């Protein structure tokens, strides 16, 4: 429905217009009517409307003056004049304002209806154009970010590269360039309890992009909600100056900081993946080198980077041992990890090291199929525990105990006999994700009482039935988001969510980012 207001100093004419025109059937809602043009102007300045229908000659302020003021606030406003005067001067001024209708009193209802139909048709056409434009821009942005990510990772064929360059206006011609990664610091802490559009991460990411574009630093793309990639096209000797300026800008705009890494300068597009690989390795060493700074290629020779590579190898072995129920090897890996910790001079580095292990272990458990409920509880308990530890031995004991518990949990899960109905339940849920799947209906389908089915399902699967359905819906949504032919609202509908807002909130709770952000980084 389009929003319209009526203004006429003759109350009788105003009431007649309200009652005699079939507004609803014309897809128009009269949101305000008044005999006082100044009151109408006040309403227009405070509210969004689509159509202004006004008498042309009124005391204090004429309809022409009202229309001029309204158009200054909303240049796309549709204006219809109603006049009791066959005055050429009025008509000329109305034409000058590009009025969408000029109707003489006494008003002919049919003439008003026909004029309104033309106005609504014009509004419909404009809405279709804007929707198509937005869709094209959204599609282009997604394709651009996806293309650049594949380009930097070296996973795009030369033929595909050339075809893309012909179709899309993205300039990636480089004689000499650096791959750069900009990571917002302390993301895990800042993401807790924040709204998607107002959280510090979103605000800082927008600031970074604005700085890149306003200073002409190169072509940017989104790696994740907290990481932005950049093909830096400036002079190598200016790179530290440019990015120190960005870090200063971020610090000046709040309590947020960022860390920037960059790879060696390379010549030509085919060499960009090598620079990107170096930048990614360097940013992963932030825990050992420090945050709120620039990590240059020269840092690769430092002991901190070598320690990071060694520790990541030990962590990989630790996770493998947890999965294999090799508790002796788990102990050995933990001892080896904490030999390096003894060299940390500052307690804060020990804390960062511990939270790094928790984050890495969280990712491993997620890949291993651990339920979101168990994962969230474990992660929250882990961060809370680390904050309370007073010594390195406390942290080491906690990690050893936790690793044993996780290994035991995974082992017991692998030994549990398969519930004979699980395959049928899984098949039904997968085939009916778009429908309303309730515990009561499922229990009835398999001849159980709802309570018995719910308890049995949680005992066998490890999570409640409702959480299981949500996890399957989120997994399917994640899969479909990697297919650009589906709009996000289509995906929401296909996995059982009629509200796009609710779907976005559930997706962010599951994966830490909105569907749109996930699609950009996929």
In a domain, 135, yes or no: no
Which pLDDT score is estimated for 103?
Answer: 82
- What are the C-alpha distances in Å from 162 to residues 145, 166, 175? 16, 6, 17
Residue 283 maps to which CATH number?
3.30.70.270
Residues 179 and 112 in one domain: no
In a domain, 320, yes or no: yes
Residues 447 and 496 in one domain: yes
195 pLDDT more than 80: no
Mean pLDDT along residues 492-519: 87
374 pLDDT more than 50: no
Mean pLDDT along residues 347-372: 62
In a domain, 163, yes or no: no
Number of structural domains (the chain) is: 4
182 pLDDT more than 90: yes
Residues 294 and 308 in one domain: no
Residues 232 and 330 in one domain: no
32 pLDDT more than 90: yes
- Percentage above 90 pLDDT, the chain: 19
Residues 385 and 484 in one domain: no
Which pLDDT score is estimated for 371?
Answer: 46
28 pLDDT more than 90: yes
* Domain C-terminal end among 236, 266, 298: 298
Report residue 349's pLDDT band, with 50, 70 and 90 as the boundaries.
Answer: low
- Paired sense of beta strands 218-224 and 101-104, if any: unpaired
Report residue 51's pLDDT band, with 50, 70 and 90 as the boundaries.
Answer: very high
In a domain, 252, yes or no: yes
Residues 464 and 432 in one domain: yes
In a domain, 152, yes or no: no
Which pLDDT score is estimated for 386?
Answer: 60
Residues 6+ apart with CB under 8 A from 353: 287, 341, 344
Residues 235 and 311 in one domain: no
Name the more confident of 73 and 140: 73
Residues 341 and 437 in one domain: no
Residue 231: both structure tokens together: 């093909």
Residue 474 maps to which CATH number?
1.10.10.60
CA-to-CA distance for 245 and 124, rounded, in angstroms? 46
Which pLDDT score is estimated for 344?
Answer: 57
In a domain, 153, yes or no: no
Name the more confident of 234 and 187: 234
* Domain C-terminal end among 415, 436, 466: 415
Q: pLDDT digit string (tens) for 460-480?
A: 787 889 989 999 999 999 889
Q: pLDDT digit string (tens) for 112-169?
A: 898 999 899 888 887 776 665 444 444 445 566 677 777 787 776 666 666 666 655 5
208 pLDDT more than 70: yes
Domain housing 278? 171-298
DSSP 265-305: -BSSGGGHHHHHHHHHHHHTTHHHH-SSSEE-GGGGGSHHH
300 pLDDT more than 90: no
Nearest to 452 by CA among 417, 421, 410: 421
Report residue 270's pLDDT band, with 50, 70 and 90 as the boundaries.
Answer: confident
Residue 183: both structure tokens together: 């990571």
Report residue 375's pLDDT band, with 50, 70 and 90 as the boundaries.
Answer: very low
* Domain C-terminal end among 71, 104, 128: 128
Nearest to 257 by CA among 162, 331, 190, 157: 190
Nearest to 150 by CA among 96, 223, 208: 223
Distance between first and last Cα of the chain: 37
Residue 381: both structure tokens together: 């308990």
Determine contact, residues 332/403, Cβ cutoff 8 Å: no
Residues 6+ apart with CB under 8 A from 382: 358, 361, 362, 402
Report residue 6's pLDDT band, with 50, 70 and 90 as the boundaries.
Answer: very high
Residue 112 maps to which CATH number?
3.40.50.2300
Which pLDDT score is estimated for 138?
Answer: 47
Residues 477 and 370 in one domain: no
Lowest mean pLDDT among 165-179, 304-318, 320-334, 437-451: 165-179
Report residue 175's pLDDT band, with 50, 70 and 90 as the boundaries.
Answer: low
Q: How far is CA 201 from the centre of its chain?
A: 11
Mean pLDDT along residues 13-40: 90
Report residue 57's pLDDT band, with 50, 70 and 90 as the boundaries.
Answer: confident
Q: pLDDT digit string (tens) for 440-458?
A: 888 888 777 787 788 778 8
Strand order in the sheet with 218-224: 218-224, 227-232, 178-184, 258-262, 294-295
Which pLDDT score is estimated for 416?
Answer: 58
Residues 42 and 98 in one domain: yes
Lowest mean pLDDT among 24-38, 179-193, 321-335, 378-392: 378-392
Residue whose tokens read 């699609």: 519
In a domain, 136, yes or no: no
Instruction: Please report how many Cα atoms fall inside a 13 Å half-sphere around the Cα of residue 186, on the Cβ side.
Output: 12
In a domain, 134, yes or no: no
Residues 410 and 447 in one domain: no
Question: What is the chain's mean pLDDT, rounded?
Answer: 79
Q: pLDDT digit string (tens) for 235-267?
A: 888 999 999 999 999 998 878 899 999 999 988
Name the more confident of 209 and 358: 209
Which pLDDT score is estimated for 124?
Answer: 86
Residues 65 and 120 in one domain: yes
Q: H or E stretch including 22?
A: none
């Amino acid at each position: 429905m389009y929003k319209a207001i009526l203004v006429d100093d003759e109350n009788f004419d105003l009431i007649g217009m309200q009652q005699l025109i079939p507004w609803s059937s014309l897809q128009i809602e009269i949101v305000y009517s008044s005999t006082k043009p100044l009151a109408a102007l006040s309403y227009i300045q405070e509210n969004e409307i689509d159509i202004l229908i006004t008498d042309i000659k009124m005391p204090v302020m004429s309809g022409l003056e009202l229309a001029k003021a309204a158009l200054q606030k909303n240049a796309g406003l549709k204006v219809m004049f109603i006049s009791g005067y066959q005055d050429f001067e009025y008509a000329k001024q109305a034409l000058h304002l590009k009025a969408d209708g000029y109707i003489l009193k006494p008003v002919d209802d049919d003439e008003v209806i026909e004029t309104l139909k033309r106005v609504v048709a014009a509004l419909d056409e404009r809405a279709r154009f804007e929707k198509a434009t937005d869709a094209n821009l959204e599609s282009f942005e997604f394709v651009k970010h996806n293309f650049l990510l594949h380009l930097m990772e070296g996973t795009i064929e030369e033929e595909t590269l050339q075809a893309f360059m012909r179709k899309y206006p993205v300039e990636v011609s480089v004689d000499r360039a650096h791959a750069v990664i900009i990571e917002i610091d302390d993301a895990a802490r800042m993401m807790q309890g924040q709204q998607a559009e107002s959280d510090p991460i979103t605000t800082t990411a927008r600031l970074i992009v604005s700085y890149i574009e306003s200073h002409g630093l190169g072509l940017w793309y989104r790696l994740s909600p907290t990481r932005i990639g950049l093909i830096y096209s400036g002079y190598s000797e200016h790179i530290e100056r440019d990015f120190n300026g960005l870090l200063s800008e971020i610090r000046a705009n709040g309590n947020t900081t960022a860390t920037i890494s960059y790879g060696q300068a390379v010549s030509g597009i085919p060499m960009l993946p090598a620079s990107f690989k170096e930048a990614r390795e360097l940013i992963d060493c932030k825990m050992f080198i420090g945050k709120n700074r620039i990590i240059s290629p020269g840092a690769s020779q430092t002991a901190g980077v070598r320690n990071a590579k060694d520790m990541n190898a030990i962590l990989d072995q630790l996770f493998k041992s947890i999965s294999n129920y090799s508790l002796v090897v788990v102990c050995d890996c933990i001892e080896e990890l904490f030999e390096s910790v003894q060299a940390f001079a500052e307690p804060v580095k020990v804390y960062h090291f511990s939270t790094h292990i928790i984050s890495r272990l969280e990712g491993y458990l997620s890949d291993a199929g651990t339920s979101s409920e168990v994962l969230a509880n474990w992660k929250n308990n882990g961060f809370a525990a680390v904050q309370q530890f007073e010594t390195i031995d406390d942290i080491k004991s906690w990690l050893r105990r936790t690793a044993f518990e996780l290994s035991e949990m995974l082992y017991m899960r692998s030994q549990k006999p398969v519930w004979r109905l699980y395959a049928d339940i899984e098949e039904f849920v997968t085939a009916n994700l778009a429908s309303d799947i309730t515990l009561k209906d499922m229990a009835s389908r398999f001849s159980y009482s709802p309570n018995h089915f719910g308890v049995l399902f949680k005992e066998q699967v490890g999570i409640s039935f409702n959480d299981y359905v949500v996890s399957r819906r989120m997994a399917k949504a994640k899969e479909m988001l990697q297919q650009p032919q589906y709009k996000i609202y289509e995906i929401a509908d296909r996995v059982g969510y009629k509200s796009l807002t609710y779907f976005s909130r559930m997706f962010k709770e599951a994966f830490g980012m909105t569907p749109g952000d996930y699609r950009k980084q996929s």
